Amino acid sequence: MGKNRLEAFSDGVLAIIITIMVLELKIPEEQGIEALLLMVSTFLSYVLSFIYVGIYWNNHHHLLHTLHRVTGPILWANLHLLFWLSLFPFASGWMGANPSAAVPSVLYGMVLLMASIAYHVLQKLIINTEGGNSILKQAIGKDRKGKISMLAHIAAAGLAMIQPWVAQALYAIVALLWLIPDRRIERMLYNTEEEGKSIK
Amino acid sequence: MGKNRLEAFSDGVLAIIITIMVLELKIPEEQGIEALLLMVSTFLSYVLSFIYVGIYWNNHHHLLHTLHRVTGPILWANLHLLFWLSLFPFASGWMGANPSAAVPSVLYGMVLLMASIAYHVLQKLIINTEGGNSILKQAIGKDRKGKISMLAHIAAAGLAMIQPWVAQALYAIVALLWLIPDRRIERMLYNTEEEGKSIK
Amino acid sequence: MGKNRLEAFSDGVLAIIITIMVLELKIPEEQGIEALLLMVSTFLSYVLSFIYVGIYWNNHHHLLHTLHRVTGPILWANLHLLFWLSLFPFASGWMGANPSAAVPSVLYGMVLLMASIAYHVLQKLIINTEGGNSILKQAIGKDRKGKISMLAHIAAAGLAMIQPWVAQALYAIVALLWLIPDRRIERMLYNTEEEGKSIK
Amino acid sequence: MGKNRLEAFSDGVLAIIITIMVLELKIPEEQGIEALLLMVSTFLSYVLSFIYVGIYWNNHHHLLHTLHRVTGPILWANLHLLFWLSLFPFASGWMGANPSAAVPSVLYGMVLLMASIAYHVLQKLIINTEGGNSILKQAIGKDRKGKISMLAHIAAAGLAMIQPWVAQALYAIVALLWLIPDRRIERMLYNTEEEGKSIK
């Protein structure tokens, strides 16, 4: 199978996920401003998930950019990633409808975590296929951003049990970390991390 | 990322938006002609929104036509535009179900306005990337049509608070302005506007 | 705009229409065979509409095959066709849920009719753009198949007022006329038609 | 019609099927962990169907790989396959909601069976079109995997009448047979089969 087919199919699935998520914004029975106010949390959850799918779409392209040969395992690792992303509409809609409940926010974090793990597995497979001098490997370096994200998702899913809004804030911060291409913020974060390591 | 990927993904999302909007036409429980008559406003709202998405799809192509390099900001400005367009099914369905209520018609106008602002931002970014002799810049000129649309959306959203049907008529007129390629109507509108300016 | 963009967008919309139609097959509350039997008419309506969208997809390709230049009117005539096709899920689901009622079957016929008119308009525009020696014009000849379909849709929509099942049978027969590439059947139909004309 | 159009359209439909299936995971009214536990069977059914659509997407590519000329019958055989795959969301959602009921599990098996028959028909048509030295024919050999799958689907649909979970286990095993590229397992299965034949 050519790389183009894999890209086109993934793009199709991502385009559908990002769009059907809006179906969770159910048209209210009422016609007043109160009806809209009741939907604020659902709307914010939709915005957050839209940004996450956008980030995955963006990163997915860079990931496949250096790929030359689509093997069976890469094909299935890609479908595995799409599977977890396909759960975004469900997890997002449930958290949006129950912003102050623990379990929906935990679930959202777990879907984010599983998606980031699936992404990591796909990345590993592509690097292995490309061999020692993989361009992708050089580009991502130690992939600190990816690892920080995973740790933040785990921490947030745990914190959601106690304070859902803290978890929700963390989900938003991780999204901003990927969205804003501010090198200084990233460098600061990484330096602090490295200093922490050297202190230990 | 190549331009083709951006176009294909945008086309995919627009195709899905224009199609899932029809899901707001809920199949009635009844089987008589009265059931259909109750849906007339929902149907008209669907027609209007279908035309708007069609206009955006058409304009989006011309916008990307001159683009050579997809930068991070352009990618996100494009997703920002798709985000507001993705709210069309919701806003359209709510206005269609409550044609004589103020808030749904205000919301529809605000979604139209945000989409036109997002389009304007994307346009600016592409012109800036292309540099001084941008073909796009020469093609759109002062973009009076775009500015008139924005002003009309603001006016309509305001009028919707008092008379929803006036706002709905304005939304339809703006759509026709883009749909009908009658140069004389446009010239007349622009001349009147310029005379107004020179009088002041 | 290039022809490829128009084709890709149309294909996307048609793929979504043909697929979301299945959402009208609501999962029953019950778990027995009776629940399925209650859905037979909805299922048959789905099969019929699936075939119609398939026919349109097939014909649409041949239509665009000879096209070289996408003009504004062709672009909008194409969206006009997609608009009527987008109503298939609604009309199909309503007829399927009320197979013995008149109005849903009339509506189904009217959507079929409007789609065939929109197709005809698009065809005319393409032939006009291509000029006198249009390959498309030579290929379709007098387009008797298209005209017979339109007449059959009108007749069926009328008959549905009296006997819905007669209309439904006619819708199925017209679909078969396009589906089965049996030249003899077509020739027989056309000959009979021409004999009828020469008798008058 | 070129092969690319057929592939792109099929990919579009498959991407939509695999994604709208998630809409059967209805967002629960409740917000606790019990609400999620009630959905375990629906989730597992979704996972299974996601894998099946993934397998069909994968195999479909290899099927079309050697195709050079798209004939009318091939086009309709392909739509016929897409039709049965389009019933996956319905059959999967119904079985997931009623895991211990007989009829939904029988239906799931019948949809699987019809899809595999439709795939087989498409395969035959492509081999016939390609002629005697068809690469596809050599590649699939006697297509034992395909035949075993069909027999397993029939057996499972029958067993579902008595013990739904046995059928469900068989559906999962057939999926694994296609998913895991373990040559030894396949060889063992085929050898046992051939020994069985030679004994008779």
Task: Write out pLDDT tens, residues A131-174.
Answer: 766 667 766 767 778 888 999 999 999 999 999 999 999 999 99
Which contiguous run of DSSP H or E holds residue B189?
Answer: helix B183-199
**Contact state of C28 with D94 under an 8 Å Cβ cutoff:** yes
In this predicted structure, the answer to whether residue A188 has a pLDDT above a threshold of 60 is no
Provide, as residue numbers in chain D, all residues whose Cβ is less than 8 Å from the Cβ of C20: 16, 20
Residue D190's pLDDT band (cuts 50, 70, 90): low
Task: Write out pLDDT tens, residues A60-71.
Answer: 988 887 787 888
Task: Write out pLDDT tens, residues C32-55.
Answer: 999 999 999 999 999 999 999 999
In this predicted structure, the answer to whether residue D197 has a pLDDT above a threshold of 50 is no
Which ranges constitute the DSSP H helices of chain A? Answer: 3-20, 33-37, 40-65, 72-86, 88-97, 102-130, 135-140, 144-160, 164-179, 183-199
Q: What is the pTM of this model?
A: 0.88
Q: What is the dihedral of CA C86, C87, C93, C95, to 10 degrees?
A: -140
Q: Does A82 touch chain D (CB under 8 A)?
A: yes
Amino acid A195: pLDDT: 47
Report, as an integer, the average pLDDT of D50-77.
88
In this predicted structure, the answer to whether residue D22 has a pLDDT above a threshold of 60 is yes
- By CB atoms closer than 10 A (0-12, 13-18, 19+), residue C63 is buried
Tokens standing for D109? Answer: 């098996």
Provide, as residue numbers in chain A, all residues whose Cβ is less than 8 Å from the Cβ of B101: 31-32
Q: Does B38 touch chain C (CB under 8 A)?
A: no
Q: Could you report how far apart the first and last alpha carbons of chain A are, in Å?
A: 48
User: D49: nearest CA in chain A?
Assistant: A83
Q: Does C101 touch chain B (CB under 8 A)?
A: yes
Q: Does A76 touch chain D (CB under 8 A)?
A: yes
Task: Report the residue of D31, D40, D53, D57 to disrupt the A interface, i.e. the one with the largest count of A CBs within 10 Å.
Answer: D31
Q: How far apart are alpha carbons D152 and B185 in whole angstroms?
A: 68
Q: How far apart are alpha carbons C182 and D197 in whole angstroms?
A: 43
Q: How far apart are alpha carbons A160 and A111 in whole angstroms?
A: 13
Report, as an integer, the average pLDDT of D115-128.
92
Provide, as residue numbers in chain B, all residues whose Cβ is less than 8 Å from the Cβ of A59: none
Report, as an integer, the average pLDDT of C58-78.
85
Side chain identity, residue D150:
M
Provide, as residue numbers in chain D, all residues whose Cβ is less than 8 Å from the Cβ of A97: 27, 31
ipTM value of the model? Answer: 0.86
Task: Check: CB of residue A7 under 8 Å from CB of residue A64.
Answer: yes
Tokens standing for B164? Answer: 């929803």
Tokens 């059914």, residue located: D45
Tokens standing for D105? Answer: 């599990």
Provide, as residue numbers in chain B, all residues whose Cβ is less than 8 Å from the Cβ of A55: none
Per DSSP, A32 falls in state S
In this predicted structure, the answer to whether residue D35 has a pLDDT above a threshold of 70 is yes
Amino acid D187: pLDDT: 55
Amino acid C93: pLDDT: 95
For A13, the closest of D8, D15, D25 (CB atoms) is D15
Provide the 3-class DSSP secondary structure of residue C24. helix
Residue C178's pLDDT band (cuts 50, 70, 90): confident
Residue D70's pLDDT band (cuts 50, 70, 90): confident
Amino acid B195: pLDDT: 47
Task: Check: CB of residue B88 under 8 Å from CB of residue B56.
Answer: no
Q: How far apart are alpha carbons B105 and B166 in whole angstroms?
A: 10
Amino acid B192: pLDDT: 52
Amino acid D179: pLDDT: 83
User: What radius of gyration do chain B's Cα atoms show?
Assistant: 18
For C79, the closest of B8, B23, B54 (CB atoms) is B54
In this predicted structure, the answer to whether residue A129 has a pLDDT above a threshold of 60 is yes
In this predicted structure, the answer to whether residue C14 has a pLDDT above a threshold of 80 is yes
> What share of chain A in percent tops pLDDT 90?
60
Of the candidates A56, A52, A50, A51, the one whose C-alpha atom is nearest the C-alpha of residue A19 is A50
Find all residues with CB under 8 Å of B177, minimum gap 6, and list them: B145, B148, B149, B185, B186, B189
* For chain D, counts of helices (H) and of strands (E): 10, 0
Q: How far is A1 from chain D (nearest CA, A)?
A: 7
In this predicted structure, the answer to whether residue D120 has a pLDDT above a threshold of 80 is yes
Higher pLDDT, A182 or C136: C136
Side chain identity, residue D48:
L
**Contact state of B76 with A7 under an 8 Å Cβ cutoff:** no
Q: Which subunits count as partners of chain B given 3+ CB pairs below 8 Å? A: A, C
Amino acid B198: pLDDT: 41
The torsion region of residue C105 among left (phi > 0), alpha (psi -120 to 50) and beta comes to alpha
In this predicted structure, the answer to whether residue A200 has a pLDDT above a threshold of 50 is no
Higher pLDDT, B90 or A2: B90
In this predicted structure, the answer to whether residue C130 has a pLDDT above a threshold of 50 is yes
User: D181: nearest CA in chain A?
Assistant: A72
Per DSSP, D51 falls in state H
User: Which segment of A172-176, C116-120, C125-129, D142-146 scores lowest on mean pLDDT?
Assistant: D142-146
Residue ranges of chain B with pLDDT lower than 70?
Answer: 1, 132-135, 138-139, 141, 181-200
In this predicted structure, the answer to whether residue A189 has a pLDDT above a threshold of 80 is no
Helix axis angle for A72-86 and A3-20, nearest 10°, is 10
Report, as an integer, the average pLDDT of D96-100.
95
In this predicted structure, the answer to whether residue D133 has a pLDDT above a threshold of 80 is no
Amino acid B65: pLDDT: 76
In this predicted structure, the answer to whether residue D1 has a pLDDT above a threshold of 70 is no
